[in-house]
Amino acid sequence: MNWSTIAKPSAQLRQWLIGLGLGIVLWLAAYSQLTAFADALVSAAGLSRQTHFGEAVHFFFYDTPKVLLLLTGIVFVMGVLQTFFSPGRTRALLSGKREGLGNLLAAGLGIVTPFCSCSAVPLFIGFLSAGVPLGVTFSFLISAPMVNEVALALLFGLFGWKVAGLYLAMGLLVAIVAGLVIGKLKMERHLEQWVRDLLAEPIEQMTAEQLSWLQRLRAGGAHVREIVGKVWPYVLIGIALGAGIHGYVAEDFMASFMGRDVWWAVPAAVLLGVPMYTNAAGIIPVVEALIGKGAALGTVLAFMMSVIALSAPEMIILRKALQPTLIATFAGVVALGILCVGYVFNWLL
């Protein structure tokens, strides 16, 4: 047996903290040497950045460690943060909140509460049963998958903090406004009959357990293993693809059909995104390649939001609890919001 598994919790916590401190120092050291690392590799291979191939190789060996470092750091912090916001706790925070403030809070909590679309229905009904208004519940349900740490880490790594911040702000705005609109439409009677029957009687409310710091740090580690372990191949393939396009495809290749002057590009991007279902890691490197070749930022962000927030499989899951009218309203309101974001971005930038 490994000695650490029989050590006392306090000793284990000390090990974790020492490991974490070392990890932070190594992380910062590695992050500060990214360009030097890529330069050294390119010159060690006898390549020059003046050539297409050399530039593509440099791009790959600069972006890959950068994105993986950012992803690991942000996912770890998020994994620890999520232990403070279990779905039960978030529900308690939202219960009885009025519309308006409630929508704002719900969209914000959507970022830090762990969410998997496979449990969208139990969560949805659990929120309603605790007295969270329908519109507020929708704000949460829109924000949780759309504004997630993987999307933010990748956008930050590949486009910088401005684009990541804009995505965050716009994602929250769409979630808040769409939830407000759905709330105003008073669509409670468009829930399936079994849901309304269930809501008529009291449902057992689970109380959240108290976690120690050791458990929280462990949760962060587990989150990194799960998320980074799952998405790294997408990141690698995406960046390799991006590197190839970066080196070889003509600069304004995308401008003719995804440029800002093409008025129909935004709705086309939103429609195209609906049947597509992938995680943020799979879509963002493609997004980067599109932007690099002259596609407009608003159009591409609209595409990305549509792929993540308006996925056909999630609607099929929600269909079990919502009648078609409510599903259509939900999709319509969110699509309209994303459309506005796309146009505003293209017009502003």
Contacts to another protein by CB under 8 A? 86-88, 91, 114-116, 118-119, 121-123, 125-126, 129, 194, 198, 203-206, 218, 222, 320-321
Least separation in angstroms between CB 285 and another protein? 24
Least separation in angstroms between CB 194 and another protein? 6
User: How far, in Å, are 136, 144, 285, 290 from residue 244 at the CA level?
Assistant: 44, 33, 12, 12
- The smaller minimum CB distance to another protein, of residues 209 and 251, is found at 209
- The smaller minimum CB distance to another protein, of residues 231 and 297, is found at 231
- The smaller minimum CB distance to another protein, of residues 103 and 113, is found at 113
- Which residue bears the tokens 């939900």? 330
322 φ, ψ to 5°? Answer: -115, 140
- The smaller minimum CB distance to another protein, of residues 190 and 218, is found at 218
- The smaller minimum CB distance to another protein, of residues 114 and 259, is found at 114
Count how many Cα atoms sit within 13 Å of the Cα of residue 70 in the half-sphere of its side chain: 24
Q: At what angle do helices 161-184 and 134-146 cross, to 10 degrees?
A: 160
Measured between its terminal Cα atoms, the distance across the chain in Å is: 59
Least separation in angstroms between CB 106 and another protein? 14
Cα(180)–Cα(100) distance, integer angstroms: 7
Q: Which residues contact 150 (CB under 8 A, 6 or more apart)?
A: 71, 75, 227, 231, 279, 280, 281
User: How far, in Å, are 49, 139, 172, 270, 303 from residue 298 at the CA level?
Assistant: 31, 22, 16, 11, 9
What are the structure tokens assigned to 30, written together? 């590695």
Least separation in angstroms between CB 91 and another protein? 7
- The smaller minimum CB distance to another protein, of residues 58 and 223, is found at 223
Kindly tell me the sign of the dihedral angle through the C-alpha atoms of 198, 200, 202, 205.
positive
Amino acid, single-letter form, for residue 78: M
Least separation in angstroms between CB 192 and another protein? 10
Q: Which residues pair with 322 in a beta bridge?
A: 191
191 φ, ψ to 5°? Answer: -80, 150
Least separation in angstroms between CB 18 and another protein? 21
Least separation in angstroms between CB 288 and another protein? 29
- The smaller minimum CB distance to another protein, of residues 115 and 234, is found at 115
Cα(129)–Cα(196) distance, integer angstroms: 10
Least separation in angstroms between CB 320 and another protein? 6
- The smaller minimum CB distance to another protein, of residues 137 and 299, is found at 137
